[in-house]
Structure 1
Amino acid sequence: MAMGVGPLTHYALAALGPFVVDDLDLSVGQYGQLWLVVFAAASVATTAGGWLADRMGLRGLFIATFAVSGLATIGAASAAGFLVLIVALVLSGVAQALANPATNRYLLERVDPRRRGSILGIKQSGVQASQLMAGLLLPPLAMWWGWRNALAVCCAVAIVGILATVPATGGPGPRRSATSSGSIRHGPEVAWLFVYAFAAGAVAQATNVYLPLFAHVELDLSASTAGLVVAVLGGVGVVARFLWGRGVQDVRDLRTPMSWLSVITVIALVGIMLTEQVGAWLVWPAAGLFGFSALAANVLVMVAVLNVTPADSIGRATGRVSLGLFLGFMCGPPSAGLVVERLGYPAMWMMLMAIGGFATVIPLAWRTRTPHLVAAA
């Protein structure tokens, strides 16, 4: 719930994109700028979030995550225009910046190392569970009750999360002390993971945002059916994150799986681009393949962070790698929107394929520079 509640607002806006764009009279470019805002806020806040995760009690971290996200959902549901949506998405970005460092610290403190990969996969699947819920439930609800009321229903997740925090964390817990130097004790691994996370994040978020609009505008799917594409991404993403997490929990060097995951992502993007020539039916298996690959990248990245980072600096290491992810999330949608406005959707898919190819090369270059990884002490 902590991982899913932060991005729930922007996943809801993606699933409700045709309704929101029409009601608020937004351009395609403005719509893409919303994701620039949410992930710019997450990028700015993630370093502070990592620092707090190394010092605060778990209870306070989780309550803050749920409360800020609830405010973001209320703000977006009541937005009368573009500027109010921006404020709401800033809050959503802050909530997302808190979630990964807090939950990674929880894993290191309370989960057996032999089970961390599978538990981390479940934890990270919360993000895609949020996407699944948004895509599956909100478009039909919006058709019946309006998009604002459909979005407001999402506040229930934040409320239940706050109520569940006390039994889940077992009390506030002691404050953690920082290392004497205040620095993160690791080699170049975090820098490589930062770059990979940036590329993977740009591809994943641009596709999350524009695939429903592409299905609606270019493939002539109805607004509610196009929203179900988000549900496919989220549903497959839930399963994929669990399977990838369980599959790599005993693998110390994740660079080969990271490279193969990016290859599969490029293949999925090729399938999406070909839907206009082959038929709209192809968007469903292509979206599923994309969910299986691109939306699981964060699991491999976070397992790698746990493998190479000491426990006393896990919050800050997670924050730095998450910064790469959020910067990718921030740059992907507006860049894609700009390409769509000027060159059309085929050019956008080709751009994302190029970034996916770059992500494939990053682990190979990393292995060339550093043949053997050093595990965390």
Structure 2
Amino acid sequence: MKDSPYEENVSAPPEKTGAIKKFNPWQMLGWLLVTQVMVAFVGRSIAPLGVFIGSSLSLTNTQIGMLPAALFLGQIAASIPSGLLVDRIGSRALLLQLSLCLGLSFIVATMTSSFILLLLILVIGGIGYGSMHPTSNLGILHWFETRSRGTAMGIKQMGVTAGSALAAIILVPLAASFGWRPVVFGASLLLVAIGLVSFLRFQDGPGFKKTKKGEKKETGKAFLKMTKNRTLLALSSGAIGLTIAQTSLNTYVIIYANQVLGISIALAAALLVIAEVGGSIGRIGWGMISDRLFNGNRMIILMMTALISSIAAVCIALFKPGVPFLFLAIVIFFFGLGCSGFNGLWMNAATEIVPPKQAGLSSGFSLSVGSWGMVIGPPLFGFIVDMTGSFTLGWYILAVILILTAMLYLRIHFTLKKEGATEHA
């Protein structure tokens, strides 16, 4: 028996009619994926380029951690409003708007030497970055049926880790040669161009209809209802633990490998790529496993991602200079597989536990809660390093947080199983 309520609340997209017939769901997913890759390529470049920005502006580890935190603070600010907006006007219109917001903000960021001003600009850019999640989530919800939605969401979410990996592969060596400013400037221009093309080619799914005026009055009630949805709150709270680990790993793995383990900057950047490859595989693989082997059960798989990440964090804490690169790469891969591979499952669960017309708001709400881990994690990890002069305690703290997260998801699983048994009694 299925121990999840997801299937009951999510309907398949209606039959395609009229002009919409000529569009293929997987083609639409392709445009969402391309845009997601570019949004992550620019937005998440802050983490791998942190070592160069820190050197340029003479920043501490804590301040370097505040850079991605500022981006994700903007994401939090945008997640609920963008969720409301996409429910009303659709995904297509927002694809261009969010690309312009993020791209133009980062272009301006390359022109400042003030740390405070840079943080403010990154917050604005984060508004565009954070809007991508509800926008793409709603697009997938209306283009794909339940049986393939987990896989589609995983593919789309793979764009986040793919974009981050490309930033490490392409932007880090370019920044080492030419500086971070011209590199970010060029990447931002490319994002704006891709956003325009996606706007012209993408179409909202057959199940989407713009919110009518009379329906807008229900939005406030729907939001209040979500704040009382204990399953959604627990799901989102667990995401805080995983996002703390994810952003801490992405922000400091290059610095840790280079400055503590004595690895060259090129190989250190390769470790971030390996982590993001693991995350990319996880975002597709975990979704497929959940869909095909666990009948859409998201919580058990989320628990597994947290446990895998906790074990990897302990291993990293035990590393010493001279550790074989292959062993280091394997551990980093599994760390990324867990803490960077869970997002697709998270977004699926957030959209599936509410009625389809509230999917954008639900994913935005969950994102606004879970993203606090991205704001808290990097500065806190950096502060621990600055205070102790070592990365070891930081990795151990991440492991403890991840174990607690796994326990939370296990509890949600049994709660849903119990509720399902009661409903079918």
Please report the TM-score for the alignment, with normalisation by the length of structure 1: 0.92
Which residue type is aligned with residue 268 of structure 1? A
User: Distance in 1 between the 2:139 and 2:235 partners?
Assistant: 21
- Pairwise mapping of residues 147-158 of structure 1 onto structure 2 (< 5 A)? 147-155=180-188, 156-158=190-192
Change (3 A) 1:167 1:9: closer
User: Deviation of residue 341 (structure 1)?
Assistant: 0.7
Structure 1 stretch 85-94 or stretch 213-222: which is displaced more?
85-94
User: Deviation of residue 307 (structure 1)?
Assistant: 2.6
- Pairwise mapping of residues 35-74 of structure 1 onto structure 2 (< 5 A)? 35-74=68-107
User: Distance in 2 between the 1:59 and 1:307 partners?
Assistant: 21
Change (3 A) 1:190 1:179: farther
User: Distance in 2 between the 1:224 and 1:136 partners?
Assistant: 9
Match of 1:273 in 2: 317
User: Distance in 1 between the 2:50 and 2:137 partners?
Assistant: 32
User: Distance in 1 between the 2:265 and 2:399 partners?
Assistant: 26
User: Deviation of residue 208 (structure 1)?
Assistant: 0.9
Q: Which of 220, 242, 249 in structure 1 is aligned with 2:284?
A: 242
Q: Which of 342, 345, 352 in structure 1 is aligned with 2:391?
A: 345
User: Distance in 1 between the 2:418 and 2:164 partners?
Assistant: 36
CA contact (8 A) 1:203 1:332 kept: yes
Q: Secondary structure at the match of 1:116?
A: helix
CA contact (8 A) 2:245 2:398 kept: yes
Match of 1:212 in 2: 254
Q: Secondary structure at the match of 2:307?
A: helix
- Pairwise mapping of residues 87-236 of structure 1 onto structure 2 (< 5 A)? 87-155=120-188, 156-169=190-203, 174-177=209-212, 178=215, 181-182=218-219, 183-184=221-222, 187-236=229-278
Change (3 A) 1:199 1:171: closer
User: Distance in 1 between the 2:131 and 2:366 partners?
Assistant: 13
- Share of identical aligned residues, percent? 24
CA contact (8 A) 1:33 1:333 kept: yes
Change (3 A) 1:72 1:249: farther
Which residue type is aligned with residue 260 of structure 2? E
User: Deviation of residue 252 (structure 1)?
Assistant: 3.0
2:133 is aligned with 1:84: no
Once the two structures are superposed, residues 269-294 of structure 1 have per-residue CA deviations (whole angstroms, 9 ceiling, x without a partner) of: 12222221661523311111111111
User: Distance in 1 between the 2:377 and 2:278 partners?
Assistant: 21
Structure 1 stretch 176-185 or stretch 79-88: which is displaced more?
176-185
Q: Secondary structure at the match of 2:341?
A: helix
Once the two structures are superposed, residues 103-151 of structure 1 have per-residue CA deviations (whole angstroms, 9 ceiling, x without a partner) of: 1111121223221111101110110011111011112112332222222
CA contact (8 A) 2:286 2:301 kept: no
Give every structure 1 segment of 4 or more consecutive aligned residues whose post-TM-superposition deviation is greater than 4 Å.
170-174
CA contact (8 A) 2:307 2:406 kept: yes
CA contact (8 A) 1:75 1:84 kept: no
Change (3 A) 1:211 1:347: same
| Structure of larger gyration radius | 2
Match of 2:372 in 1: 327
2:354 is aligned with 1:309: yes
User: Distance in 2 between the 1:123 and 1:171 partners?
Assistant: 16
User: Distance in 2 between the 1:73 and 1:373 partners?
Assistant: 47
Which residue type is aligned with residue 316 of structure 2? I
User: Distance in 2 between the 1:17 and 1:36 partners?
Assistant: 12
CA contact (8 A) 1:252 1:307 kept: no
Change (3 A) 1:367 1:110: closer
Residue segments in structure 2 that go unaligned for 5+ positions in a row: 1-33, 421-425
What is the number of residues matched between the two proteins? 374
User: Distance in 2 between the 1:118 and 1:61 partners?
Assistant: 23
Residue segments in structure 1 that go unaligned for 5+ positions in a row: none
CA contact (8 A) 1:70 1:159 kept: no
Which residue type is aligned with residue 271 of structure 1? C
User: Distance in 1 between the 2:205 and 2:155 partners?
Assistant: 23
Match of 2:405 in 1: 359
User: Deviation of residue 180 (structure 1)?
Assistant: 5.5
User: Deviation of residue 317 (structure 1)?
Assistant: 0.6
Across the aligned residues of Structure 1 and Structure 2, the Cα RMSD in angstroms comes to 2.2
Q: Secondary structure at the match of 1:115?
A: helix
2:47 is aligned with 1:14: yes
Once the two structures are superposed, residues 310-338 of structure 1 have per-residue CA deviations (whole angstroms, 9 ceiling, x without a partner) of: 11111111011101221110010111011
User: Distance in 1 between the 2:419 and 2:152 partners?
Assistant: 23
CA contact (8 A) 1:9 1:89 kept: no
Once the two structures are superposed, residues 224-263 of structure 1 have per-residue CA deviations (whole angstroms, 9 ceiling, x without a partner) of: 3322222112222222211112221243332211111111
User: Distance in 2 between the 1:352 and 1:288 partners?
Assistant: 16
Match of 1:264 in 2: 308
User: Distance in 2 between the 1:272 and 1:10 partners?
Assistant: 26
User: Deviation of residue 6 (structure 1)?
Assistant: 3.6
CA contact (8 A) 1:268 1:286 kept: yes
